[in-house]
């Protein structure tokens, strides 16, 4: 009898603690959404900041973040996917493969501020890119590279070996098998990972602090050697070091909501895609 009472108590404690985790998310999202929703309108999204960033919009920051996401994905996506293919399909089991995987894990664990330091010393100073979109994009690209590699690996792992064997059996080469059979099946999963990493890149602040982000720059970039404003850094500036922190609070709420919305949308799309795919696979 006491045994089952103990179990009841233990399970209720587990339930309460798990709901605390949910509560945290609800609190944070609820707070940001309820405070920010009143600020967001078309004008907020499409005009320049005014009056020392206490009025106007966040247009240049949105465009800046857009450039950085695009740039970093252009860099990280092809290399990451190829690296994932290499690790899962090509590398012979052994020391080299384990070493590459270990290094990928290590890179994934490196703090974002260290990427910032590295990006500053390599791209900004050594390669003389200056504070520019290209320096920031490359730094962010390095940061998400392990994420892309891992999702590619996972996606390839989920492709059943019988597909590969069937393709080999028909006389196809390794490359043909990967290109014509494995990749088409794995692509949707890879894209899911890509969408999630877009969410990650658009929120990173520390790597862009010293490689691209501008405190206040009310114009759009014209080349990849320009500085830009970016949403996460803009939020940081508005909430800690703006010209008038109290007056720019509303702007900060709006910016935070836009950032959260990007992550939310990315997650929703990724989840929907995943669900859609698992249905499709079942049908086969």
User: Running DSSP on this structure, what letter comes out for residue 225?
Assistant: T
Shortest CB 250 distance to another protein, Å: 12
Q: Which residues, 240 to 259, sit near another protein by CB under 8 A?
A: 240, 249, 252, 256, 259
Sole binder of another protein in the list 39, 53, 73, 87 (CB under 8 A):
87
How many residues interact with another protein (rule CB under 8 A)? 85
Residue span 152-191 as binding mask against another protein, x where in contact by CB under 8 A, dash where not: ---------------------x-x----------------
Q: Is 83 in the site for another protein (CB under 8 A)?
A: yes
Positive or negative CA dihedral for 200, 70, 79, 210?
negative
Shortest CB 232 distance to another protein, Å: 4
Please tell me the distance from the alpha carbon of residue 147 to that of residue 143, in angstroms, as a whole number.
8
Sole binder of another protein in the list 107, 217, 269, 273 (CB under 8 A):
107
Q: Is 111 in the site for another protein (CB under 8 A)?
A: yes
Please tell me the distance from the alpha carbon of residue 239 to that of residue 252, in angstroms, as a whole number.
6
Residue span 199-238 as binding mask against another protein, x where in contact by CB under 8 A, dash where not: xx-xxxxx--xx---------------------xx-xx--
Return the number of other C-beta atoms located less than 10 Å from residue 10's C-beta. Answer: 10
Taking Cα atoms as reference points, which of 114, 129, 275 lies closest to residue 209? 114
- The H-assigned helical ranges of the chain are 2-36, 42-46, 59-85, 95-109, 112-119, 133-157, 161-169, 174-176, 183-203, 231-236, 249-283
Sole binder of another protein in the list 69, 85, 147, 212 (CB under 8 A):
85
Sole binder of another protein in the list 41, 105, 187, 243 (CB under 8 A):
105
Taking Cα atoms as reference points, which of 70, 280, 93 lies closest to residue 187? 280
Return the number of other C-beta atoms located less than 10 Å from residue 3's C-beta. Answer: 7
Stretch that binds another protein, among 17-25, 40-48, 54-62, 185-193 (CB under 8 A): 17-25
Sole binder of another protein in the list 110, 166, 170, 281 (CB under 8 A):
110
Taking Cα atoms as reference points, which of 212, 238, 203, 82 lies closest to residue 139? 212
Q: Is 45 in the site for another protein (CB under 8 A)?
A: no
Q: What are phi and psi of 217, to 5 degrees?
A: -150, 85
Q: Is 277 in the site for another protein (CB under 8 A)?
A: no
Shortest CB 241 distance to another protein, Å: 10
Q: Is 106 in the site for another protein (CB under 8 A)?
A: yes
């Amino acid at each position: 009898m006491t045994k089952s009472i103990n179990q009841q108590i233990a399970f209720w404690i587990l339930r309460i603690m798990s709901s605390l985790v949910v509560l945290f998310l609800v609190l944070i999202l609820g707070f940001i959404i309820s405070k920010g929703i009143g600020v967001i309108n078309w004008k907020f999204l499409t005009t320049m900041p005014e009056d020392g960033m206490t009025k106007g919009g966040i247009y240049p920051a949105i465009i800046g973040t857009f450039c950085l996401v695009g740039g970093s994905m252009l860099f990280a996506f092809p290399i990451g996917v190829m690296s994932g293919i290499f690790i899962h399909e090509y590398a012979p089991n052994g020391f080299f493969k384990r070493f590459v995987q270990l290094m990928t894990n290590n890179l994934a664990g490196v703090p974002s501020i260290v990427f910032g330091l590295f990006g500053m010393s390599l791209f900004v100073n050594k390669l003389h890119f200056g504070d520019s979109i290209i320096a920031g994009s490359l730094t962010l690209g390095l940061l998400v590279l392990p994420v892309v590699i891992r999702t590619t690996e996972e996606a390839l792992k989920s492709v059943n070996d019988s597909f590969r064997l069937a393709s080999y059996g028909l006389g196809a080469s390794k490359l043909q098998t990967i290109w014509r059979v494995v990749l088409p099946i794995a692509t949707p999963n890879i894209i899911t990972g890509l969408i999630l990493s877009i969410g990650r890149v658009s929120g990173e602040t520390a790597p862009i602090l010293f490689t691209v982000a501008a405190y206040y720059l009310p114009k759009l970039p014209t080349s990849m050697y320009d500085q830009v404003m970016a949403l996460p850094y803009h939020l940081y500036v508005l909430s800690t070091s703006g010209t008038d922190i109290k007056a720019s609070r509303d702007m900060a709420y709006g910016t935070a909501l836009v950032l959260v919305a990007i992550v939310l949308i990315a997650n929703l799309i990724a989840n929907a895609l995943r669900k859609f795919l698992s249905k499709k696979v079942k049908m086969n």
